[in-house]
Chains A and B, each alone.
Chain A
Amino acid sequence: DAGVIQSPRHEVTEMGQEVTLRCKPISGHDYLFWYRQTMMRGLELLIYFNNNVPIDDSGMPEDRFSAKMPNASFSTLKIQPSEPRDSAVYFCASSYRGTYGYTFGSGTRLTVV
């Protein structure tokens, strides 16, 4: 298995632009998680899905953030409009049945200038 695949690896965008991050979970995994990592706040859970359904989005910082999972093999995290304070590394992770530990992707390093 190729693991959790995230794209792009790096993204530099200007303030106000729309940013879309993509994630392909491991086949057969039924949970998908989006995390954000910064020096100041560490790892923050933004949202997670079970069987493509959003379960908990309480970590989404603002309405500028949205996430979708149209099918079991694809998810997106969108920021519109982006702001400099959104600069961080965004990780996607997937899990089977939730309790067996996550497999993380390599992350997307987002820089908003």
Chain B
Amino acid sequence: AQSVTQPDIHITVSEGASLELRCNYSYGATPYLFWYVQSPGQGLQLLLKYFSGDTLVQGIKGFEAEFKRSQSSFNLRKPSVHWSDAAEYFCAVVGSGNTGKLIFGQGTTLQVKP
């Protein structure tokens, strides 16, 4: 069965520091991968997505992610974190048969220290 694992439940970084959030997926075929961000009390906003092609994808708010098939990973990165980036981040994969059924990881909560 398809699954998504986000190993880090909670991460704290200092403002201005770099960030990497980890995501590992289990999927037999080429996956469609997504990162979403959820600010407190808000819905989920799409940061970026990978379907095919260039394995380094750029998203909104200065985020990028790299697809590594050999490692079954799709880690999210940002070179310099801002206090407004504090939120919960979800990695997701489209399930079997590309039915549109997104399978989400458990999420990583990012805290930013001033």
Interface residues of A, Cβ cutoff 8 Å to B: 4, 31, 33, 42-43, 45, 48, 50, 55-56, 91, 93, 95, 97-107
Contact = CB atoms under 8 A, between A and B. Distances in A.
Contacts, number: 51
Given A55-B99, A56-B101, A97-B100, A105 B43 contact: yes
A50 B100 contact: yes
A102 B99 contact: no
Interface residues of B, number: 20
Interface string B35-60: 01000001111100101000000000
B101 A107 contact: no
Nearest to A56: B101
Taking chain A's interface residues, is the majority helix, strand, or loop, or is none over half, making it mixed?
strand
Interface string B9-45: 0000000000000000000000010101000001111
A106 B42 contact: yes
A53 B45 CA distance: 25
Given A104-B43, A104-B44, A98 B106 contact: no
Contacts of B101: 33, 45, 48, 56, 98
Contacts of B104: 42-43
A31 B91 CA distance: 20
Q: Quick one: which of B43, B49, B94 has the most chain A CB within 10 A?
A: B43
B98 A101 contact: no
B49 A106 contact: no
B102 A102 contact: yes
B100 A103 contact: no
7 contacts: A33-B102, A42-B104, A43-B104, A50-B100, A99-B98, A103-B46, A107-B43
A48 B100 contact: yes
